[in-house]
Amino acid sequence: MTALHLRGVVLPEEEERDLWIVNGRIRTEPVPGARTVVDGGYLLPGLVDAHCHVGIAEDLAEAATQAVTDRDAGALLIRDCGSPIDTSPLQERLDLPRLIRAGRHIARPKRYIRGMAEELDDPSLLPDVVAEQAANGDGWVKLVGDYIDREVGDLAPLWPDDILAEAIRVAHAAGARVTAHVFGSDALLPLIEAGIDCIEHGTGLTDDTVAAMVDHGTALVPTLINIETFPGIAAGASKYPRYAGHMLDLYGRVRRTVGTAIEAGIPVYAGTDAGGGIAHGRIVDEIVALHETGMTREQAIAAASWNARSWLGWSGIQDSSAADIVAYATDPRENLDTLRTPTHLILRGRLLPR
């Protein structure tokens, strides 16, 4: 493979540098004969969609198409937060984003979207199933922390506290991190105190649970563009007026809720929830939403680039790092819409066609 040469302002360091790419790795020393493919502009570590569902699909071909859509928007690393089909074969495709899989959601019967989750009639089986999903995934396990309980008529937690704590201990012993879908408030504190690593959505956060997340170092992926679907969910839930009202309340205060989490210093990362009622390829919309919620432009980009990559175990633009780079003609920190028009995508050291 011919070596590549890039020159541009590297973020977040904000310095103009020359980079060379050989065998999928970044080099900072000159490589004779390298072909210059970028000469000017700005270079970012590949974007990250930290909550995506590549695999809510009929088959692998459809899942691959979803991944291409995300890739073309600049997302070169995806944390798949639960999919009903095994997408591990997609990891062999050099043209698709790097994929970190969480396996399948784990839920109770009739307490999540039909056909999506491993459903446990007996909640005491949770630690065993968590161990299975930890073995099947790539270092993450996805729980459903709360969902509508039709007998209650509102959001309610799924798991007894002691079983939850044991399940998270089992995951950690297996070297996996755990995250959970949580809309409301009641499920949050037991999850945080049990040592969960991340909360997805988090619309029910309160001052107390924000403080608990800070104390425990728990991350948040708020999926702000997904929360825009809450009014539609409420409109379709007239049979459960308490639940419908609750969803509208969560929607109405989400920007304030997430803004409080950001201000408190909770690690917050960008995730679209693509596939879960959200179209693929919308990572820039989520970055813009994070900025509108309280992050500076640079913080919002970091939440979908160098900070998110570090959180998921991938480095940025440095010597010997994997060559996953997105290039832009102008500084995206000045105008986030610049992120919508990358000039070049380099994935695994390969220049992708545009």
User: Phi, psi (5° rounding) for residue 235?
Assistant: -65, -30
Return the pLDDT at 270.
99
pLDDT value for 276: 87
The whole-number pLDDT of residue 113 equals 95
Mapped onto helix, strand or coil, the DSSP state of residue 289 is helix
Q: What is the 3-state secondary structure (H, E, C) of 74-123?
A: CEEEEEECCCCCCCHHHHHCCCCCEEEECCCEEECCCCCCCCCEEECCCH
Half-sphere exposure of 158 (CA within 13 A, CB side): 27
Give the separation between CA 324 and CA 354, rounded to whole angstroms. 15
Q: What is the rounded CA–CA span in Å between residue 77 and residue 246?
A: 34
The rounded radius of gyration (Å) of the Cα atoms in the chain is: 20
Taking the mean position of all CA atoms in its chain, how far away is CA 221?
Answer: 6
* Token couple for 316: 């940025």
Question: Could you list the pLDDT tens digit for every one of the 354 residues in the chain?
Answer: 789 999 999 999 999 999 999 999 999 999 999 999 999 999 999 999 999 999 999 999 999 999 999 999 999 999 999 999 999 999 999 999 999 999 899 999 999 999 999 999 999 999 999 999 999 999 999 999 999 999 999 999 999 999 999 999 999 999 999 999 999 999 999 999 999 999 999 999 999 999 999 999 999 999 999 999 999 999 999 999 999 999 999 999 999 999 999 999 999 999 999 998 899 999 999 999 999 999 999 999 999 999 999 999 999 999 999 999 999 999 999 999 999 999 999 999 999 998
Is 59 in a helix, a strand, or coil?
coil
| pLDDT for res 161 | 98
- How big is the CA angle at 137 (ends 91 and 160), to the nearest 5 degrees? 155
Cβ atoms within 10 Å, residue 115: 8
Amino acid at 166: E
Q: Which residues contact 51 (CB under 8 A, 6 or more apart)?
A: 79, 81, 200, 221, 223, 271, 272, 273
Edge-to-edge order in the sheet of strand 47-52: 47-52, 75-80, 98-101
Question: What one-character DSSP code corresponds to residue 310?
Answer: H
- 3 state SS of 72: helix
Task: Quote the tokens at residue 333.
Answer: 């920190």
pLDDT of 83 reads 94
Helix axes 254-264, 283-293, angle to 10 degrees: 80
Contact indicator for 52, 70 with CB cutoff of 8 Å: yes
CB 60 within 8 A of CB 81: no
Q: Give the relative orientation of helices 241-252 and 254-264 as an angle to the nearest 10 degrees.
A: 50
**If DSSP codes are grouped into helix, strand and coil, which group holds residue 344?**
strand
Question: Dihedral (C-alpha) 179, 183, 186, 191: value to the nearest 10 degrees?
Answer: 10
Residue 250 near residue 42, CB atoms below 8 Å:
no
Q: Which residue has the tokens 């991190």?
A: 177
Tell me the C-alpha distance between 34 and 222, whole Å: 42
Q: Can you name the residues that pair with 15 across neighbouring β-strands?
A: 10
